[in-house]
């Protein structure tokens, strides 16, 4: 397992974890304050190209964090899948950015910097922060009137690597070079429009630039771990769970879980499409084995603390492979349907004359039942009534916590 992100609750307890969060928040606010981000005129000056401190400070934070994150993931110290990446809603994001940008120009603050200013008891910062809170209230009361637009143009967890189709290292180098060019351009704008003298090329500045470039090149050289690389690291621990049958759940437990309103059970059927069309459980999604990894970011986004994933195939072979992929990519609460669809039909379809077992010998995971036609989920066994069955089994589902959404950027 990757040592980061650190399990602060386990290390320091609930109160101790919140104390760490408070220290980080204080440090972040302190850096913003000493950078001048509590002064509205200094912040607004960037839009007139007179003072580009905001661009330089924020972009420095972005590229340093980016290099360190991907360097740590490349070295196996950090699990990138446990870092919350905001999902992309393109047009709502563009409109929201324009609204915030206009507010930034008019008021001289963004939401985050207004809190820094308010913390230093500046009147304009306090009024801006109060206005922001009122805006949040107003949004919450009116969002239902434009909810369709608010949820439109959804792209999931879209990163520059996904958008450009380039390796992580190439993107990291490109963003660092772009930031350095913007720093240089910002200084030229400050000289032309703000009358500021050109800064001295000190040893510290040169060392910072060299360190960033070296870090970006190292990210490209090391690369990022593949799903198989991640599984190799986890295999000693997770193979033991497979061998002990701790993650293979009985059909009776799955049926009870589907009927449990406290659980959000997501069924992933990784069989070929022909078998899926022939018969599948109601609410089961068809997901071919070769597309599991590509679907993982979206699965992580929709998962809540009460979400359980159950993968299934005709027996357990393909489902086990899918389970390994999901676990390697840190998807929480993943289980395998014990015995697969064949076992499910044995338990819930054995007394139905339209479902007949086939004498086909076990091979490459065949469906061991014959249907007169492709019924999909239009069969009683696809959605049995949990109240009609009293089955004995050992419960195995235990919910694990997942990383949640957090604030970021200037908001």
45-81 pLDDT, tens digit each? 999 999 999 999 999 999 999 999 999 999 989 988 8
Predicted local confidence at residue 372, as pLDDT: 79
Q: Which of 2-6, 288-292, 400-404 has the highest mean pLDDT?
A: 288-292
User: Is this prediction's pTM over 0.75?
Assistant: yes
- Per-residue pLDDT at 3: 63
| pLDDT above 90 as % of the chain | 70
Q: What's the average model confidence in pLDDT over 251-275? A: 94
Sorted by where each begins, the domain ranges of the chain are 8-225, 228-388
Is pLDDT of 403 > 60? no
CA 386 to chain centre: 33
> Torsion-angle region of residue 330: left (phi > 0), alpha (psi -120 to 50) or beta?
left
Angle (CA) 392-394-400 rounded to 5° is 140
Q: Which CATH superfamily is domain 228-388 in?
A: Rhodanese-like domain (3.40.250.10)
Tokens coding 367: 């469906």
Mean pLDDT of the chain: 90
More confident residue, 209 or 202: 209
Going by their DSSP bridges, the two strands 154-156 and 307-312 should be labelled as unpaired
Strand-strand pairing, 154-156 and 88-89 = antiparallel
- What does DSSP assign to residue 376? B
The band of 270, judged by pLDDT with boundaries at 50, 70 and 90, is very high
**Bond from prior residue into 5 cis (ω within 30 degrees of 0):** yes
CB 70 within 8 A of CB 135: no
pLDDT tops 60 at residue 375:
yes
Residue labelled with tokens 């990291």: 172
264 strand-pairing partners:
307
Phi, psi of 240 (to 5 degrees): -65, -35
């Amino acid at each position: 397992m990757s040592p980061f992100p650190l399990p602060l609750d386990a290390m320091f307890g609930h109160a101790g974890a919140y104390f760490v969060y408070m220290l980080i928040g204080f440090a972040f606010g302190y850096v913003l304050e000493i950078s001048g981000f509590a002064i509205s005129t200094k912040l607004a000056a960037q839009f007139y190209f007179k003072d580009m401190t905001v661009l330089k400070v924020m972009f420095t934070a972005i590229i340093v964090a980016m290099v360190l994150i991907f360097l740590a993931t490349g070295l196996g110290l950090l699990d990138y899948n446990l870092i919350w990446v905001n999902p992309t809603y393109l047009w709502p994001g563009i409109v929201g950015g324009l609204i915030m940008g206009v507010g930034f120009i008019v008021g001289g603050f963004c939401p985050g910097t207004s809190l820094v200013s308010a913390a230093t008891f500046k009147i304009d910062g306090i009024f801006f922060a109060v206005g922001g809170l009122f805006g949040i209230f107003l949004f919450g009361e009116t969002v239902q009137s434009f909810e369709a637009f608010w949820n439109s143009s959804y792209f999931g967890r879209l990163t520059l690597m996904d958008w450009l189709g380039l390796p992580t290292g190439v993107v990291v180098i490109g963003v660092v070079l772009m930031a350095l060019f913007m720093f240089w351009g910002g200084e030229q704008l400050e000289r032309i429009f703000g009358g500021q003298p050109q800064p001295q090329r000190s040893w510290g500045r040169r060392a910072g630039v060299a360190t960033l470039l070296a870090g970006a090149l190292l990210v490209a050289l090391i690369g990022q771990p593949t799903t198989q690389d991640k599984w190799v690291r986890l295999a000693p621990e997770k193979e033991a769970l497979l061998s002990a049958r701790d993650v293979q759940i009985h059909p009776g437990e799955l049926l009870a879980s589907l009927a449990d309103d406290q659980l959000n059970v997501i069924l992933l059927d990784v069989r070929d499409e022909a078998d899926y069309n022939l018969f599948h459980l109601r609410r089961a999604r068809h997901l071919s084995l070769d597309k599991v990894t590509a679907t993982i970011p979206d699965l992580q986004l929709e998962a809540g603390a009460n979400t359980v994933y159950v993968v299934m195939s005709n027996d357990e072979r393909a489902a086990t492979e899918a389970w390994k992929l999901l676990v390697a990519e840190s998807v929480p609460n993943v289980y395998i349907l014990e015995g697969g669809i064949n076992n499910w039909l044995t338990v819930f379809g054995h007394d139905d004359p339209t479902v007949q077992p086939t004498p086909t010998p076990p091979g490459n995971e065949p469906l061991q039942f014959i249907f007169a036609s492709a019924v999909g989920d239009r069969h009683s066994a696809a959605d049995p009534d949990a109240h009609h069955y009293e089955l004995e089994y050992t419960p195995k589902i235990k919910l694990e916590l997942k990383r949640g959404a957090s604030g970021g950027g200037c908001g």
